[in-house]
Amino acid sequence: MLETINDFLNLFEKNTTKNSYRSIIIRFKEFLEKNNLEMIYQDNEKDIYHPLILMKAKEFASQATSISTKNTRIATLKSFYMYLSNVKKLNNPLKYLEREKTKDEREELKQNDFLSIMKKIDRNTIRGKRDYALILLFLDLQISGTIIRKLSIKNITVSTKSMKIGDRDIKIEECTFDILLQWLKECYTLKNKSMNIDDPIWPSLAHNIKPGSYISSQAISMIMKNRTGGYSMPRMNKEKFRESLKFL
């Protein structure tokens, strides 16, 4: 069995991928063995053992502490069993094993939820002002946290109320734009610093970080989850978002 696992791992070039896959597959193998099961059964035994392997794969995946880790386990095991089905010409017991959808994938923010989220943010604090503007821009642009954290003053085009992202000049809602400018004015006034074009739109507010540092991707993800009740990448229908801005 170990030789088959190594043959599968040799299909991948990156050592990080190999190590991650090896760890998950070996742990699942040991998990099955504790339950007196093997990883591979012949087709004449599939009716008995394949449902058990599928059940144990779900159980093994559900032991993960997060949805992303759970889905990594599922994806790894499905890839391995697909390889086995092709090489060993055996039926795949995990063919219909589905990954779990994250909250972001399951649903979009509804108007009432959005307005409730924004209403709860205390805009009398510097972090409240930042988070309010950040969520609005996030929903307006619908880009990843990795991209949004790297935005600087030079990305803003005041004349067209738009944001330069790569080769695109994306127009944003007037309400979003005005609140973004309010945030920047108050942020840099508080810091007793004039804005330069290379300054970040979202500077880190942590005291142990040197001035002018960009906020981290982890911080953005945490802000989104804490403020929106679990959405790390909140989404909202563009028309509903535009309509909701009237009620802010």
pLDDT at 102: 62
Choosing from 75, 100, 125, the residue where a domain stops is 100
- Shared domain check, 221 and 110: yes
Name the nearest CA neighbour of 234 among 100, 159, 143.
143
User: Pairing mode, if any, of strands 162-165 and 168-171?
Assistant: antiparallel
Choosing from 38, 73, 100, the residue where a domain stops is 100
- Shared domain check, 96 and 7: yes
- Shared domain check, 135 and 92: no
- Shared domain check, 130 and 30: no
- Shared domain check, 65 and 109: no
**CATH at residue 164:** 1.10.443.10
- Shared domain check, 19 and 132: no
**CATH at residue 9:** 1.10.150
Range of the domain at 9: 2-100
- Shared domain check, 15 and 29: yes
Query: In sequence order, what are the beta bridge partners of 169?
Result: 164
Give the number of domains in the chain. Answer: 2
- Shared domain check, 204 and 150: yes
Q: What is the largest CA-CA distance in the chain?
A: 76
Q: What is the DSSP string of the chain?
A: -HHHHHHHHTT---HHHHHHHHHHHHHHHHHHHHTT--S---GGGHHHHHHHHHHHHHHHHHTSSSHHHHHHHHHHHHHHHHHHHHHS----TTTT--PPPPHHHH-PPPHHHHHHHHHHS-TTSHHHHHHHHHHHHHHHH---HHHHHT-BGGGEETTTTEEEETTEEEE--HHHHHHHHHHHHHHHHHTT----TTSBSSB---TTS-TTPBPPHHHHHHHHHHHHTS-SS----HHHHHHHGGG-
Per-residue pLDDT of the chain (248 residues; tens, 9 = 90+): 788 899 889 888 888 888 999 999 999 999 999 999 988 877 677 677 889 999 999 999 999 877 778 889 999 999 999 998 888 777 888 988 888 776 555 568 889 999 999 999 999 999 999 999 999 999 999 888 888 989 999 999 999 999 998 888 999 999 999 999 999 998 888 767 777 889 999 988 865 556 568 888 888 888 988 898 877 778 888 899 999 999 99
- Shared domain check, 116 and 96: no
At 160, list the tokens.
Answer: 């067209």
- Shared domain check, 90 and 129: no
